[in-house]
């Protein structure tokens, strides 16, 4: 008798749970857009509050650029609804597996990310709390009485789904980073081989041929020494000119190995030498302005700054369609300020950075990394049709011991 009563109670409880689950599914489907809207606003406000002094963290900006977060949590909510309907975890993960952009921008921590920020916990808690509030409020409106423990038990599955998605995105992000590292190593090796090949060809085609001409010229001089003084003097001048050409050629080649000259003669010597070659290749004049009491920069800081300016000029020459460019050095409080500016076609910075991450073209990213190695900051401002300016700010403390 008692067993039968207990069975009936269990069946009633099971039926009640099923009815409540159906109600919860209906609530989630009917209120999905509002849930996502509330979550997205909360997310953007949280990120903005974490970075109050950054213009790029203003709410209006975040609401435009963080749409992938809203889209991903929409997918997570669909998975949760699917779980409630089926009673088991049987949903498609292919979207998360393919979405490298979301993984790299919003999940895999960058080196500047504070790992103690607890962002993942706060964002997850916000999403779960909002859904929990919708469920409890709507059930109460319909006079359904359900305990907080039962709602919490239901939401546990949502938490598992969220963290499963984070795990998948983390794996996707780290796999992509591993792929980028392999490609980067391959590109570095290729660049080294191409540089060696180019140097060998230039030495063979220019310097060695000029050197081979000197013995011939000396024989001519020897023959003219007693017969034709004017011809003799002319050939002497030719030989001097030839030697000067050799010296210039060797200087140009040494520019390819600028770490030596940056350390020996300083940053501005290397930049001016590179500008001379740049103007010959691209036919774009480049001005350079230095402060009155400029102190020369050498060593590692000099090399890092040279590589950044070199990359900036290469981009101007290859992509900008500029008529002119200008490099300005200024003293700004206890910092060195450097500007590289052109009047070219400009570009969409956000699209270029996103494309560079996934195409493996990491020039701009390397520029920022080199500046960060000097504890500095770099800002890129580009307006389509008006040109681009790269602004660099380096503390003088990072240059101490490498300046004259």
The pLDDT tens digits for 49-63 are 876 665 556 788 888
Q: 199 pLDDT band (50/70/90 cuts)?
A: low
pLDDT for res 392: 96
* Sheet containing 286-289, strands listed edge to edge, beginning at the edge strand earlier in sequence: 286-289, 325-332, 335-342, 387-395, 377-383
Token pair 């600028």 is found at 258
pLDDT at 275 over 50: yes
Please work out, in degrees rounded to the nearest 5, the angle formed at the alpha carbon of residue 236 by the alpha carbons of 235 and 239.
Answer: 85
pLDDT at 182 over 90: no
pLDDT for res 65: 85
pLDDT at 264 over 50: yes
pLDDT at 338 over 70: yes
Residues 6+ apart with CB under 8 A from 378: 308, 367, 368, 371, 390, 391, 392, 393
Cβ-count burial 75-110 (b if 16+ within 10 Å, e if not): bbbbbbbbbbeeeeeebeeeebeebbebbbbbbbee
pLDDT for res 204: 63
Q: DSSP label at 206?
A: I
Mean predicted confidence (pLDDT) in 320-333: 93
Mean predicted confidence (pLDDT) in 10-26: 74
- 87 vs 184: CA distance, rounded Å: 45
- 280 vs 295: CA distance, rounded Å: 28
How many other CB atoms sit within 10 Å of the CB of residue 329? 19
The answer to whether the CB of 174 falls within 8 A of the CB of 99 is: no
Mean predicted confidence (pLDDT) in 186-198: 68
pLDDT at 4 over 90: no
Q: 125 pLDDT band (50/70/90 cuts)?
A: very high
Mean predicted confidence (pLDDT) in 288-317: 91
Q: 192 pLDDT band (50/70/90 cuts)?
A: low
Q: 16 pLDDT band (50/70/90 cuts)?
A: low
The answer to whether the CB of 202 falls within 8 A of the CB of 249 is: yes
| pLDDT > 90 in the chain, percent | 34
Higher-pLDDT residue of 242, 87? 87
Mean predicted confidence (pLDDT) in 283-290: 95
pLDDT at 93 over 50: yes
Q: 290 pLDDT band (50/70/90 cuts)?
A: very high
The answer to whether the CB of 252 falls within 8 A of the CB of 280 is: no
How high does pLDDT run on average in the chain? Answer: 81
Q: 111 pLDDT band (50/70/90 cuts)?
A: very low
Cβ-count burial 335-362 (b if 16+ within 10 Å, e if not): bbbbbbbbbbbbbeeeebeeeebeeeeb
| Residues facing residue 335 across a β-bridge | 332, 395
- 339 vs 290: CA distance, rounded Å: 11
Residue 316, token pair as written in the block: 């101007």
- 171 vs 177: CA distance, rounded Å: 10
pLDDT at 117 over 70: no
Q: Are strands 286-289 and 325-332 parallel, antiparallel or unpaired?
A: parallel
Question: pTM of whole model > 0.85?
Answer: no
pLDDT for res 109: 62
pLDDT for res 14: 63
pLDDT for res 54: 58
pLDDT for res 122: 87
Q: 47 pLDDT band (50/70/90 cuts)?
A: confident
- 144 vs 8: CA distance, rounded Å: 21
pLDDT at 241 over 70: yes
Distance of CA 118 to the CA centre of its chain: 23
Mean predicted confidence (pLDDT) in 115-125: 80
């Amino acid at each position: 008798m008692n067993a039968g009563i207990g069975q009936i109670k269990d069946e009633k409880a099971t039926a009640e749970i099923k009815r409540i689950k159906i109600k919860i599914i209906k609530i989630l489907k009917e209120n999905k857009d509002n849930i996502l809207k509330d979550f997205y606003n909360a997310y953007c406000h949280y990120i903005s509050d974490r970075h109050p002094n950054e213009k790029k963290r203003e709410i209006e900006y975040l609401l435009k650029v963080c749409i992938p977060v809203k889209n991903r949590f929409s997918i997570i909510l669909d998975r949760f609804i699917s779980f409630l309907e089926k009673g088991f975890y049987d949903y498609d993960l292919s979207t998360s597996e393919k979405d490298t952009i979301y993984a790299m921008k919003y999940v895999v921590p960058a080196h500047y990310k504070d790992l103690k920020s607890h962002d993942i916990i706060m964002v997850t808690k916000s999403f779960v709390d909002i859904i929990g509030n919708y469920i409890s409020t709507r059930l109460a409106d319909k006079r359904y009485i359900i305990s907080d423990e039962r709602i919490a038990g239901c939401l546990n599955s949502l938490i598992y789904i969220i963290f499963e998605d984070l795990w998948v995105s983390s794996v996707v992000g780290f796999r992509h980073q591993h792929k980028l590292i392999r490609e980067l190593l391959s590109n570095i090796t290729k660049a080294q081989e191409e540089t060696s090949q180019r140097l060998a060809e230039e030495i063979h085609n220019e310097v060695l041929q000029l050197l081979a001409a000197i013995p011939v010229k000396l024989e001519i001089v020897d023959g003219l020494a007693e017969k034709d003084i004017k011809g003799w003097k002319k050939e002497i001048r030719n030989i001097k000119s030839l030697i000067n050409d050799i010296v210039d050629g060797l200087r140009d080649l040494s520019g390819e190995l600028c770490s030596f000259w940056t350390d020996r003669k300083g940053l501005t010597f290397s930049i001016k030498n590179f500008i001379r070659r740049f103007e010959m290749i691209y036919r774009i004049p480049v001005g350079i302005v230095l402060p009155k009491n400029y102190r020369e920069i050498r060593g590692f800081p000099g090399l890092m700054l040279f590589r950044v300016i070199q990359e900036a000029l290469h981009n101007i020459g290859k992509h900008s369609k500029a008529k002119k460019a200008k490099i300005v050095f200024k003293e700004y409080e206890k910092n060195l300020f450097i500007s590289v500016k052109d009047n070219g076609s400009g570009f969409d910075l956000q699209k270029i950075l996103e494309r560079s991450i996934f195409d493996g073209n990491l020039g701009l990213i390397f520029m920022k990394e080199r500046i960060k190695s000097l504890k500095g900051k770099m800002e890129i401002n580009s307006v389509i049709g008006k040109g681009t300016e790269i602004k660099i700010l380096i503390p003088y403390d990072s240059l101490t011991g490498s300046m004259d």
